[in-house]
A and B are shown apart, each in its own frame.
Chain A
Amino acid sequence: MADTEVLVIGAGASGAALSWRLAEAGIKVICLEQGDWVKPKDIPIDRPDWEIARMTWWSPNPNLRRLPEDYPVNDTDTPIKPLMFNGVGGSTIMWSCFNPRFHPHDFKVRSTDGVAADWPLTYDELAPHYELSDRMMGVSGVAGDRSVPPRFERPMPPLPIGPGTQTVIDAFDKLGWHWWPGDVARNSTAYDGRPACNNCGACEMGCPSGAKGTSDVSYWPKALKLGAQLRTGARVFEITTDKAGRATGALYYDRNGRVQRVTADAVAMASNGVGTPRLLLLSKSTLFPDGLANSSGLVGKNLMHHPIAAVSGIFDRPFDGGTAGAGASVLSNQFYGTHPGADFVRGYMLAGPRIHAPLATALGAWGKALPWGKGHHAEYERLFGRAGAMIICCEDLPVETNTVTIDPELKDSDGIPAPKLTYAVDDNSRKMIRHGLDRSKEVWEAAGAVETIERPLLAQAGFHLMGTARMGNDPETSVVDRWGRAHDVPNLFIVDGSVFVTCAAVNPTPTIEALALRTADHIIGSRR
């Protein structure tokens, strides 16, 4: 008999959701996670040097953070650097918790735009799992946005907005453009035993109070109570298979560097859009010479990010200095999806304003290096508290040459080969970015900004890792089926962002979780 019914690799957003749902149905689950629990005191958000920590040893970029549980990523061939967190809760520990959903047309871009591929499922099929994910993570917001299908009221009312957000809303109104308060997985009121957010404005540091919906405080406590087992400090290096080509479990290094084995009836990959293809490509065998579940050759291909651009608007009056943008931002779907007359297909979401803190301002976060010497303070005063950034989140199209591969030399601290990212922004995205920059400038001009600064591509913005083991009905052109089950390995599932067929122009996590919950329900259903 196997050690467990389902072995989950990775305790982040998708692994947590899957483990909880399976445990709730009485299925035996073991989850292996290379990192550890993050304790409130580990989060350097109450230290005077919190901004330095955020840019160095507590950065979302694992290559800068370099904690023992992080694996290095060769990012020399990509202008967008990968961001993630390795620990219980995964990257949600550092996520900004913006919680939008895909729009229905995002699931069928081949049909509507003749590009990429359609998803093998629809928005309506996923909608119940989106709702469940919102309740589990705790979402603040308000239903009634006419640019998306009707929804149930959100579990909590919207978060407060600050003066900068109001300025942006007024500008959108002046232009006659769509806007709506964004859904955010941050408690506007006490919720599910967690306190209300105190609007500290630094979500990406991690949340010591638990007011931010992170998977370690939302799903995991419930999953553990239901009997799921979570092994931390467990770094998987191979998914094992038998002669019949079924997954049998995994081999991992424990905290002491000893090799351990877990056997399972089924294995679910939840290691994110970089970690999952890395492990599949490493799990080579005679039956799977190109890596596990890779007969299509698509494992590690079609890596998508959301190319993120920004425009800073500088004002000659205070913008949002007092609270440093701690209020929630708004989004605009005015240019979401394909737009008649545009020289690109698909579209982007505008979200803003983003506000930078004191040190980030000095270091050039608004897109302008500050001078040293005599002019420094005058320029600082012109920017700090007087600027906001409009964020342009572009839909990336899948391109086979954008990849996660195994680096021939780089290894993690256990000697496991590390991934390499190869990625270029394609022509369609470049045109989309140009359009977004111009429209964002219009917003700032309508708001009364005296200057705008373009940031055409943010490098430290590879936080959405998608597409590297995509879903589809055809085993020749996809890695998993509509339930996340590998075409080649009937008891292997993939539940993280790797399965995305296309990536829409919204943050991915609600969709990742909804898919993981849906796969869980499929596993539960197949067991009956």
Chain B
Amino acid sequence: MAAPDPFLGAVLTSLLPGDGTWPSATSTGLPSWFGDRAAKMPALADAVAWLRSSLPANFTTRAPAEREADLRSCEAKDPHRFSILTTEAFNGYYIDPAVLSVIEGKTGFPARPPQPTGHRLPPFDFSIIDGRKGPVNT
């Protein structure tokens, strides 16, 4: 697991700030997931390096509104490279257990993968096709 990188933490929290029960990126496993991912994915590593060289040297200590403005100007300069960063940030955030349990709390969608549990649904109710049914072969 990569050591947390303050620069990445600042970027990710700007992309996915906390809001009510939603955790900010840095309160989840996203920063270290993201670092690991960049180590294996050259396009992401390139996008991170580009961002690092494009943002002001004091980016990590700037106010949130300034950071957002900095990032928006990078996005405007190279939307494609920037989208690699946002896609991977969303990828890591929305598989994080803390985030999935917020989703479960808000919508009932269980914080677990589809298998092995699946979902319980009531059996098909034949009364919904009452009066609609046409001829059947026998």
Contacts and interface: CB of A to CB of B under 8 A. Distances in A.
Interface in A31-74: 45-52
A144 B91 contact: no
Given A49-B95, A188-B124, A322-B108, A358 B103 contact: yes
Contacts of B121: 160-162, 199, 323, 326-327
Interface string A161-194: 1100010010000000000110000001000000
Interface stretch (B2-10, B42-50, B51-59, B129-137): B129-137
A359 B129 contact: no
A215 to B, nearest CB: 20
Interface residues of A, number: 58
Interface string A437-476: 0000000000000000000000000000000000000000
B127 interface: no
Interface of B: 14-17, 19-20, 22, 68, 71, 86-87, 89-91, 93-95, 97, 99-100, 103, 106-110, 113-124, 126, 128-129, 132-138
Given A48-B95, A150-B134, A362-B94, A201 B114 contact: yes
Chain B contact residues: helix, strand, loop or mixed: loop
A46 B124 contact: no
B113 A372 contact: no
A385 B100 CA distance: 13
A15 interface: no
Contacts of A158: 124
Contacts, number: 155
A384 B129 contact: no
Interface of A: 45-52, 142-146, 150-153, 157-162, 166, 169, 180-181, 188, 197-202, 205, 208-209, 318, 321-324, 326-327, 358-359, 362-363, 370, 372-374, 376-378, 381, 384-385
B136 A321 contact: no
Contacts of A318: 107-108
Contacts of B116: 46, 198, 208
Nearest to A157: B124
B114 to A, nearest CB: 4
The 6 lowest CB-CB distance pairs between A and B, nearest first, are: A198-B118, A322-B108, A321-B107, A144-B133, A146-B134, A385-B107
A321 B109 contact: yes
Contact of B16 (A45, A198, A376): A376
B114 A202 contact: yes
Contacts of B68: 373-374
B124 A144 contact: no
A262 to B, nearest CB: 37
B125 to A, nearest CB: 8
A143 to B, nearest CB: 4
B122 A160 contact: yes
A426 to B, nearest CB: 30
Contacts of B71: 372-373
A322 B107 contact: yes
Given A145-B134, A359-B91, A376-B16, A205 B114 contact: yes
A323 B119 contact: yes
A235 to B, nearest CB: 28
Contacts of A169: 128
A481 to B, nearest CB: 29
A362 B90 contact: yes
A158 B121 CA distance: 12
A324 B109 contact: yes
A144 B106 contact: no
A209 B117 CA distance: 11
A150 B90 CA distance: 48
A200 B115 contact: yes
A23 to B, nearest CB: 28
